[in-house]
Amino acid sequence: MTAGSVLDMRITPTPTPDQPGAQAAVPPVGSNPGPRSARFANPAQLGPGGPLKPGWGLWQAAAGLVLVLALPLGATLALSSVLTFGPELVFVSLCFTWFALLGSSILASRLWGFGSLAKDFGLRFKWVDLAIGLGVGIAARFILALVQVIITLLWPLGEDEVLQGNAGIFLTGDSGWIFVNAVLGGAIIAPFLEELFNRGLVLRAVQNAWWLSGSVKGKVSAAAPQRSLTTATVVAIVVSSLAFGLLHTGAVPDLRSSIYLLVGTFTVGVICGVLTVWTGRLGPAIVTHVVFNGSAIGLLLVLPPELLS
């Protein structure tokens, strides 16, 4: 498995000559020209002629966030009159969420970018990503446990107060539905599409907006650095992680559980963001997310309920 041969997911050809400077400057997928610090950005945006700026940016990322929030919520509310809460309704809500995540990313790439999810958002894998993701995913579980212990010490639980997570909503219905919603949906499909959207589109949109200046006419155009790339990267990781956290907080009913869930998902978002900008691809972050979600679902399936309450 090589960096450029898997999950290139090309949608349209390479930018055409009517996009100034784009065709001559675009390097092959997975290449990494320039100094070591250039790896903090998407490698496909750094060509021999200088940095490139895709036409997608903050407003496409913001529109995608609204769609990811509104589409599943609207569909769930509309169908709640004919479907009672259960695995069927959970599955429908998941499908609309996945459609919004994938659709936003594909549209941004096709209409305003390189036309390749690998070039626009770093959707590439290497074999080493399996080892990186496994190690970091397990470590993230321990880091999150430590963070939650610290929060509990600073903000002790009240009498009979119980924290609620969002993993339990996937575990409704019989074993078939649990496999579809929890194993396939929560542990495999959701991490893949959430990383594509949050660490692909959102993170890079914020990074480009902070770092680069230049025309965004057409799909891809020449750009010039206007601020520190390191600062832009830090801002992008924080903003994308916060957006990632906020997308998950509506799944629990009380304030304390929402705060715990926000802190937890924000922490995981930062970890996956660092992996993404460090490697220049989404592979390590996706595997980390799969391991992180899968370990939570596995514990819920294996451990007795009284140990989890």
pLDDT recorded at residue 35: 41
Structure tokens at 239: 């903003």
Tens of pLDDT along the chain (309 residues) come to 444 433 333 333 334 333 433 333 444 433 443 444 445 567 888 878 888 899 999 999 999 999 999 998 888 888 877 777 788 988 998 999 999 999 999 999 999 999 999 999 999 999 999 999 999 999 999 999 999 899 889 888 877 777 777 767 777 778 899 899 999 999 999 999 999 999 999 999 999 999 998 755 678 888 888 888 889 999 999 999 999 999 888 767 778 888 888 999 999 999 999 999 999 999 999 999 999 999 988 888 876 554 444
Q: Evaluate whether 66 touches 197 at the Cβ level (below 8 Å).
A: no
**What's the pLDDT score for residue 171?**
79
Structure tokens at 54: 């895709």
Query: What are the structure tokens assigned to 141, written together?
Result: 């579980």
For 43-191, list the strands marked E by DSSP: 46-47, 50-54
Whether this prediction's pTM lies above 0.95 is answered by no
- 123 phi and psi angles, rounded to 5 deg: -75, 80
Question: Do the Cβ atoms of 170 and 178 come closer than 8 Å?
Answer: yes
Please name which of 245, 237, 242 lies closest in space to residue 274, comparing C-alpha atoms: 237
> What helix, strand, coil percent values describe the chain, rounded to 5?
65, 5, 30
What is the C-alpha separation between 235 and 242, in angstroms, rounded? 11
Residues 84, 79: Cα–Cα separation, whole Å: 9
**Residue 60 token pair:** 């496409």
Report how far apart, in Å, the C-alpha atoms of 114 and of each of 142, 161, 214 are: 38, 50, 16
Q: Is the dihedral of CA 149, 151, 152, 153 positive or negative?
A: positive
What is the pairing mode between strands 50-54 and 220-222?
antiparallel
- Whether the CA torsion 240, 118, 138, 249 is positive or negative: it is positive
Query: Tokens standing for 153?
Result: 């010490």
Contact present, 237 and 274 (Cβ < 8 Å): yes
The DSSP element (H or E) to which 144 belongs, if any, is helix 128-154
